[in-house]
Chain A
């Protein structure tokens, strides 16, 4: 029997994570692309950590930081009555850490790929850095922007280890598609596992294909003559 709930949950999680990460990463990646500061490599290394760390490590630290026994977890529980682990909120927080590099890195290289003179021409035209960012930088790096948004989304849909550790498998709350498939396999319901997996493959392919088609078209448009 096909239940849509895990998919909806996956997409809700991925959508929220993408929006939050985009807002947080925009200033960070802009700063990284423009700065000549000595701390730049340190920040770059920290943001890239989730790529190399096993998801269990990230999951473990997030559990450790957000659980009741930690200062942060107990603070939120005491003052706001909010639990930060084994619910949807914790999944969003965990995903934001887990997918951070997939948002920051394409944005940063997009910003770095923009001719410095073009940005300076905008400043000379009397425009502030903020206006330059939105009216000149972002519109001139649509492929990078698209890659950042879609890959972050897709990567969050595809996450499993962190989600399982931080969220467990509560139906309708933290049981996302990848966790649901894991459980089907565990109880040897291969039919459902096949169905869910095939849907994941198909959707992921369509998403990635649309990114590459978009970028292909953009590159053609911007490199004519």
Chain B
């Protein structure tokens, strides 16, 4: 059981705001932390790790990490942390990166095997691809059998295929180690696959907290497709107007009427929705 109560004044890009979070997490839970950038997600993670100062009460498994009287140093908190930019030790081989944390060779071998890195164990990090680096970083974070695993957008720098592969590995490792995990992510499919609880933050506060399904499926089961996107342009084609909208990695063309067009502004967020009575679903390659 992890109990957290944090207050901190932040001077962010969007002006001053107050981070104010109260939270309990069950042991073994996989929590996805999401919300707009600048909402305080990374700061929350860093405070939990002990990398940032704050007015905080943090209690993990009955042990006080931080309260008004004492602050346990980052070295003593027994956490794992996965950075978005991997943060590997470039002067050490893959294996030594793991052994630096803890001299347990068996555990290192086991982790490298689970993540298919065994062949690369004597390589230097700079000779690895982004996906391989992040797997090393993930293994390293688990080397001290952490009580809490924190991941700050671990997969956002990777391409879609690699992301899927690593999501599976994160899932495998989470099942194997049962580590209580908090992961910052912006990717709904990633959150849906990995997390059993989703917390949405906005301006330093928790604004939504529930299962990924209840939080992410905003239309909650109605037969409706609804996508957020950015309106890039509106072009006139003969007598109709076509809006070009960017949704995820795709550009979509939507016919709009003259009246609709007047209510739209280019470069603003838009929502496209339609009733889906008979959608067809086909597996893609």
Contacts and interface: CB of A to CB of B under 8 A. Distances in A.
A2 B256 CA distance: 93
B81 A121 contact: yes
* Most B Cβ at <10 Å: residue of A126, A127, A139: A126
Given A135-B100, A222-B90, A124 B79 contact: yes
B144 A125 contact: yes
Given A125-B100, A125-B101, A125-B144, A120 B87 contact: yes
A35 interface: no
Contacts of B91: 136, 139-140
B88 A118 contact: yes
Contacts of B129: 225
A127 B83 contact: no
B51 interface: yes
Interface in A70-119: 115, 117-118
B89 interface: yes
A37 interface: no
B89 A225 contact: no
A110 B182 CA distance: 33
B126 A222 contact: yes
B81 A120 contact: yes
Interface string B97-124: 0001110000000000000000000000
B49 interface: yes
Nearest to A135: B100
A39 B102 CA distance: 38
Nearest to B150: A124
A136 B96 CA distance: 12
Contacts of B85: 115, 117
Chain B, interface SS category: loop
Contacts of B154: none
B127 interface: yes
Instruction: Sort chain B's interface into a size bin.
Output: 20 to 34
Contact of A123 (B75, B88, B89): B75
B89 A121 contact: yes
Given A117-B87, A122-B89, A224-B127, A127 B75 contact: yes
Given A135-B100, A222-B126, A124 B74 contact: yes
B126 A225 contact: yes
A121 B83 contact: yes
B51 A120 contact: yes
A221 B129 CA distance: 16
Contacts of A123: 51, 74-75
A118 B100 contact: no
Contacts of A125: 100-102, 140, 143-144
Contacts of B268: none
A127 B51 CA distance: 14
B87 A126 contact: no
Contacts of A225: 126-129
Contacts of A127: 75, 100
A120 B137 CA distance: 13
Given A124-B79, A126-B144, A118 B127 contact: no
Interface of A: 115, 117-118, 120-128, 135-136, 139-140, 221-225
Given A122-B89, A222-B126, 5 more contacts: A120-B81, A120-B87, A125-B101, A126-B78, A127-B75
17 contacts: A115-B85, A118-B88, A118-B89, A120-B49, A120-B51, A121-B81, A121-B88, A124-B74, A124-B75, A124-B79, A125-B100, A127-B75, A139-B91, A140-B89, A140-B91, A224-B126, A224-B127
- For the complex of A and B, the 4 pairs showing the least CB-CB separation, nearest first, are A117-B87, A139-B91, A125-B101, A121-B87
